[in-house]
Structure 1
Amino acid sequence: MSAASTPAGSGAEQGAARTKSENEERSEEAKKQQVILVAYLIATLDLIFLFMQLGVMPYLAKSLGLDSVGFGYLQTTFGVLQLVGGPIFGRILLMCICSHCNPRESYWLPPKVTESGSGPLYAVCVDVYFLLTLPLGLFLIMFSIISMDFFGLEAVQSGYLMSYFGVLQMVVQGLVIGRLTSLCTERTLLRLSVFVFAGVGLGMALMRNVLHYCIVAVPLVFAFSTLGTITDSILTKSVPASDTGTMLGICASVQPLTRTVGPAVGGLLYKQFGVSSFGYLQLVVNVGLFVYLLKSNIPLKEGKGL
């Protein structure tokens, strides 16, 4: 009787342990989904207020009597504050995360560390990201002034144009980028984005009105979304998990760096050479990058259809 009850008791204990483990996994998965939802909510609110600031600030500065030079100083100040505040609040956030997380939640980190042969691709990715983002960032920094002076848009019309960009970006990222990443390798998409950026530069050099810019915006959003997706993917795969945040932070620092030096350089280009100078600069940079990528020893295809 006692010998018969021992296996039954052992089986009951195993079943209880398995049920407890499943409940813990479901609880952790539910917490993970809650964190993801909160992150999406914070990102949505951040982008809403950011684009409200970007859309309203030029007209507010103009109504207060600031010229293009004064507005450039204002943008430079904003960029300097971003550069200074990023490391400070990043350090505070790191301390908060470390104090509230335990080692069991290490599944958030990528399971793969450094892949063989990914070093050259990582170096090329970082160089391409910096060189591609800087000329485009100069144009985007001056776009608020360009929309008023060159296109002659009012605040409401500028808001409609920004809404068009938002819808276009959602469509491209939701319907196009995902399918391309399943068909093409990261190397192929990297070169494709550089080639499309070169065409965008030529279109920006030749555009004369808002309609032309709306047409140019389609390949612009496609190339920019592709570059951002591929850059994040390559960086998370080609460095150890402990260095992933550092590499992503380096790439994220391009925007505040552009905001710091962009108003002065962009204002000089716009005042001396006009809007077409941004397009020609982007065209020259991207043609040089495309030739460099074609001559590099990194293979173009890796086990996918394209």
Structure 2
Amino acid sequence: MRPEGKTTTDAVSSQANVTDQQKRTKIIYIVYLIAALDITWMFLQFSVTPYLAKKLGFDTLWFGYLQTTVGVIQLLGGPMFGRFADLFGARVALSLACSSTVVFFLLLAIADHPAMLFIQKLPTIFMHVIPASQMVVADLSAPEKRADALSKLGLCFGIGMIAGSTLGGHLNTRYGETFTACCGAAGSAFSLLLVLKFIPKTTKTQSSRTNTDSENKSKSVFNLGEITRLMKFPGVTQTFVVKVIAGLPSGIFQVMFSIIALEFFKLEPQQNGNLMAYFGIVQMVIQGGVIGRLTGRYSESSLLLLSIAISSLVGLALAYMQNVFHFCIIVIPMMFSLSVFNVITDSILTKSVPSSDTGTMLGLCASVQSLLRTVGPTAGGFLYVNYGLSSIGLIQFVVNVAVFVFLLQHRLKKSA
């Protein structure tokens, strides 16, 4: 028979665990809302920048340079921001990211010269709302449910894509670029208020904080050794290299899409907004209803292979695409492969490092996307102008087939 005091203690402990779990769930839902709003404002911006750049005299090559500038700035900022989030906590990190987004939109609203479009990109060094949101979700979710929890951020991405593209297209068509940018600034300010009201100072576990606080506080945000140290954990380097190489061709297409929509598909702002909204619907279905079920049934390594195989076929389809209807069909496997690839690689990488370093790891993951935006526009602009859209698709096909064969051979050697 159990002592009465122990039974009471267990009941209190159980109640505390339930309360703590409810609190964690509430914070995660708030973070999902903040992420959805951030994506909304970003896609609002995508309805402004290409058309404003064209009005200011940018051609395809110069627009590529503009996108490359963003990539370089965020490439430098991503790992440092992740380290900053680990050191100073979720609330400070998200506040900095949202404040930078407000400044970004205000500068966009007053941009009236080509140079201003480059200056307007400077705040993007701190605009890492999604990596900070991923850190919070990774910290507060159980390891076995992490891929599913991270995939829900992709659902938020789909919601934001639909809302931002539709809203941005209508606002830009009816009221112009300046008014649309001001709406983005106001929305980002609202996101900042949500952060200050609901996000705790830190989301790290107590044991993780106790073990790392004293050493972390003495280390700089700019400590490159602390950032690159994560590459020494088992499996991290290989997954990271795969993330870069397999993601590069599809990244080139993504950063060039605004130009492809404008020149290849000849879309008006509102039509472009509707197409982006369609992307969002597809992504919502995949992230909300498909990925969670797949991660529950299949291993992460199997899903990674599947996503790369499908991505290679998508590249082949893009090479022979003729019109926007063809593209609408291709979007479904494209969004599936991209969603699974990003969720699975992020999940593998965050599980491979201590919980005290999830922010830094996700900052490095964000820097991969920034690297793609750095090389992508220049490489994509060169390929598109000289060899046409088909060249981008064929490169995606060849690269992903090579990565698939490498991973398959590696897996067979391990199982042998």
Alignment-derived partner of residue 32 in structure 1: 24
Change (3 A) 1:160 1:127: same
Residue 82 (1) aligns with residue 74 (2): yes
Q: Which amino acid aligns with 1:29?
A: Q
Alignment-derived partner of residue 161 in structure 2: none
User: Any idea what the Cα deviations from partners look like across 1:69-118, whole Å, max 9, x if unmatched?
Assistant: 222222122223223333454444333329756853759xxxxxxxxxx9
Q: CA deviation at 1:247?
A: 3.3
Contact 1:201–1:279 under 8 Å retained in 2: yes
Change (3 A) 1:119 1:80: closer
Alignment-derived partner of residue 125 in structure 1: 239
Change (3 A) 1:246 1:94: closer
Q: CA deviation at 1:56?
A: 2.2
Contact 1:187–1:299 under 8 Å retained in 2: no
Alignment-derived partner of residue 294 in structure 2: 180
Contact 2:82–2:359 under 8 Å retained in 1: no
Alignment-derived partner of residue 344 in structure 2: 230
Q: Helix, strand or coil: the match of 1:296?
A: helix
Alignment-derived partner of residue 272 in structure 2: 158
Alignment-derived partner of residue 7 in structure 1: none
Q: In 2, distance between residues paired with 1:72 and 1:142?
A: 8
> Which residue, out of 46, 49, 63, partners 1:54?
46
Q: Which amino acid aligns with 2:366?
A: A
The count of residues paired between Structure 1 and Structure 2 equals 281
Change (3 A) 1:87 1:185: closer
Scaled by the length of structure 2, the TM-score of the pair is 0.61
Q: In 2, distance between residues paired with 1:85 and 1:51?
A: 21
Alignment-derived partner of residue 214 in structure 1: 328
Residue 144 (1) aligns with residue 136 (2): no
Structure with larger Rg: 1
Structure 2's unaligned 5+ residue stretches are: 91-200, 210-232
Q: In 2, distance between residues paired with 1:92 and 1:119?
A: 24
Contact 2:313–2:397 under 8 Å retained in 1: yes
Change (3 A) 1:206 1:48: same
Alignment-derived partner of residue 397 in structure 2: 283
Change (3 A) 1:241 1:149: same
Q: In 1, distance between residues paired with 2:85 and 2:358?
A: 16
Scaled by the length of structure 1, the TM-score of the pair is 0.81
Q: In 2, distance between residues paired with 1:129 and 1:193?
A: 12
Alignment-derived partner of residue 249 in structure 2: 135
Change (3 A) 1:210 1:243: same
Alignment-derived partner of residue 35 in structure 2: 43
Change (3 A) 1:174 1:85: same
Change (3 A) 1:228 1:38: same
Q: In 2, distance between residues paired with 1:158 and 1:102?
A: 41
Q: CA deviation at 1:119?
A: 4.0
Superposition misfits of 4+ residues, deviation over 6 angstroms: none
% same residue: 48
More off after superposition, 249-258 vs 150-159 = 249-258
Q: Helix, strand or coil: the match of 1:290?
A: helix
